Amino acid sequence: MNYENSLEFARRMDANDVLGPYREKFHYPRINDKDVIYFTGNSLGLQPKIAKGYVDNIMQDWANLAVEGHFYAQKPWWDYHERLANPLAKIVGALPEEVSVMNTLSVNLHFLMVSFYRPSKKRFKIICEEKAFPSDQYMLQSQVRFHGYDPSEAIVEVKKRKGEHFWRTADVCAKIDEVGEELALVLIGGVNYYNGQVFDMETITKAGRTAGAIVGWDLAHAVGNVELKLHRWEVDFAAWCSYKYMNSGPGNASGIFVHERYLDKKDIPRFEGWWGTKKETRFLMKPEFEPIETADAWQVSNPPVLSLAPYLASLELFEAVGMDALLDKQRLLTGYLEFILRAIDKEVDSTFEIITPEQRGCQLSVFLHGEGRPLFEYLMKNGVIVDWREPNVIRLAPAPFYCSFEDMYQFGQILKMGILSK
């Protein structure tokens, strides 16, 4: 693509954008009486306009039916979560029975580690990336301590090479080989939250499983953002949040993936509750747990339907568009953002270092050499919502559902003014 740093070019691209009409399906914050340029869908996606109607329907059923809404609501509550499985399976590359929705992300990772981190005297070590998202670090450390191991011995971090801002797949695989027969689990963020790197999940999964370890992925920044083929890659388990690229609302429900090879194992260790038992016998209140032969067996409590409603609404949009169209626009849009950043860098006396490698999704992380937090604050005051990360990085995530090519161009102009006005 031959990009141009001009308003005319950006508007031509928008005119030919098949996803352009979907901008009108989201609510935007306003600053200075204008819709913002929103770059933080990697933290919290914008609200789909249809989400409120989904929530209102449940509120109306609750008012009119009370407890009978479990079975007689327009979308009965007792199996509400099942409606999310098929569209989610398409997004993560899974079989519908391998997917469920429950709890929140860190809770689900803990629950899944009950099943998939079973350390022994020989195999007890976990490989993760250095400086993983803090919640993952705390979760891994507490799980290791719970099993009686010292985190400094049991947790092995794969480091970036000196002077580089990204991880090399070869280094991850080499670390797997090095730990060898002591390795119990590989658990890495599929897309790194800080630099936006997409890990080679297929290659790393194969290396981990070849070494005899379990391989899981934290897909918080990956689902709805990059291509996933969890079933085909033979990933053992994965979990993700729904409020970033999935646009389901703050702190909302998490999704899980459990490969089908584990679904018929009645004796697999897990924390169990009545919503994971077979639907046919659930209300017989039997003392024996009879697991559903799907990922729903990992559910403990009945689903929070008021939380699932906006998630289901967002998935309707994903179903209508399809991941292929989103990925096509994402590549063009992120490429144009990179072009704009480099063009502005040439026009001003400043240096922007894009620390996101070519293996990326929506996100570009930009090191602002010679600039600082005042530039971030200038952007925010002038209608560009971005994310600041210490020591001097802004994260920009042009989500294809609601960001436009003109947004990228206008951002470049505001960025340039912010630098020149110092």
Residue 127 lies in a domain: yes
**Locus of tokens 């200075």:** 32
Q: Is the pLDDT of residue 199 over 80?
A: yes
pTM given for the model? 0.96
pLDDT tier for residue 349 given thresholds of 50, 70 and 90: confident
Residue 342 lies in a domain: yes
d(CA 326, CA 227): 10
pLDDT digits over 203-251, tens only?
999 999 999 999 999 999 999 999 999 999 999 999 999 999 999 999 9
Domain that includes residue 133, residue range? 52-269+297-321
> Do 63 and 79 fall into the same domain?
yes
> Do 109 and 219 fall into the same domain?
yes
DSSP 8-state class, residue 160:
P
**What residues contact 92, with CB distance under 8 A and at least 6 apart?**
99, 219, 223, 228, 230, 238, 240, 255, 257
Residue 276 lies in a domain: no
Cis status, amide bond into 303, omega within 30 of 0: no
d(CA 58, CA 11): 40
> Do 42 and 87 fall into the same domain?
no
Range with the poorest average pLDDT among 276-280, 281-285, 367-371, 378-382: 367-371
- Residue 352: the pLDDT is 86
Q: Tell me how far the alpha carbon of residue 100 is from its chain's centroid.
A: 15
> Do 58 and 169 fall into the same domain?
yes
Residue among 402, 266, 314 nearest 101 (CA):
314
pLDDT digits over 20-36, tens only?
999 999 999 999 999 99
> Do 370 and 316 fall into the same domain?
no
Beta-strand runs (E) in 242-317: 254-258
CATH number at residue 117: 3.40.640.10
Report the 10 Å Cβ neighbour count for 331: 15
pLDDT digits over 259-288, tens only?
999 998 888 999 999 999 999 999 899 999
d(CA 77, CA 74): 9
> Do 345 and 314 fall into the same domain?
no
Domain count, the chain: 2
> Do 100 and 180 fall into the same domain?
yes
The residue type found at 85 is A
> Do 177 and 225 fall into the same domain?
yes
Residue 328 lies in a domain: yes
